Amino acid sequence: MTLSALGAHPLSVATAIYVQDTMGMENLEPLSPELVDDQARCLLEDMTVQAIKVGPICELETLQMVAQIAADYSQLPLLLQLEALPNHPALQEADDTLAATLELLVPQADIVMVPHRLLAHWQSEGYMPRQTGDDPARWLLSGGADWALVLDAPLRPGHNAHVLYGPEQAMANWPAANKPAPGPHAHSPLACAIAVGLAQGLTPQVAVEQAMKQAAPLSERWFQPGMGHKILMRTTT
């Protein structure tokens, strides 16, 4: 819905089915890697795709399959949106899946988008080097990503920003909302807007700059349909 509102035509490939409501997730059923591969390649071979956006993937073999698809279509810009995986018994290979994400998908990404709190957690847990002065965002770049967009990074006490790290020490930042959008998918409008910019042929830095302006009004509109989380109103009107 967000991509459509921004003027793009999304081609969706599901990797898992959630049983959930606004309170949270009750069950999760990963789809077979073969099904994911068939659907993705069917779309890629049928239509002119301009960019690929990959969200969190909860099954190791599926992630490996997606990484191979991205490699086969390396001419397409890739936005990798990293989020914490759900805490669910079905995800028995969560650590291996994260390690594979960092090894197989990050090096192919034009932009990696990740919350600062998640980067800090991964660093503290040993998924990334933990040495004095190490910046985990820079580690993503050294791992092969062209650009890294770190969300809600603390610049100074009481002031957070979305910080874009690029090649040759290039950096830019935008103020993060003092009152973050509610719900577990608060940053999805921004990810969608960046993907649209990449699909339009914009450079990663310009795509992020444009997306910050486009996503702001979308991220400020929400409603509460149930007893749990508020959710974003994913329309422009």
154-192: pLDDT as tens digits: 888 888 999 999 988 788 999 987 665 666 678 889 999
- What pLDDT band is residue 24 in, cutting at 50, 70 and 90? confident
The highest-confidence range among 78-92, 139-153, 156-170, 209-223, by mean pLDDT, is 139-153
What pLDDT does 172 receive? 93
Whether 175 contacts 163, CB under 8 Å: no
Question: Model confidence at 133, in pLDDT bands (50, 70, 90)?
Answer: low
> What six digits make up the tokens of 229?
């989380």
Using 50, 70 and 90 to split pLDDT, how confident is the model at 226? confident
147-156 and 111-115 beta bridge pairing: parallel
More confident residue, 167 or 66: 66
**What value does the mean pLDDT take over residues 133-146?**
84
What band does 43 get if pLDDT is binned at 50, 70 and 90?
Answer: very high
Instruction: Answer with the residue of higher pLDDT: 19 or 110.
Output: 110
Helix, coil or strand: residue 195: helix
Distance CA 173, CA 121 (A): 22
**Per-residue b/e over 135-174, b at no fewer than 16 CB within 10 Å?**
bbbebbbeeebbbbbbbbbeeeeeebbbbbbbeeeeebeb
Residue-level pLDDT at 138: 85
Contact yes or no for 160/152 (Cβ under 8 A): yes
Q: What is the mean pLDDT of residues 106-113?
A: 97
Structure tokens at 66: 């997606």
Task: Tokens for 79, please give them.
Answer: 């936005």
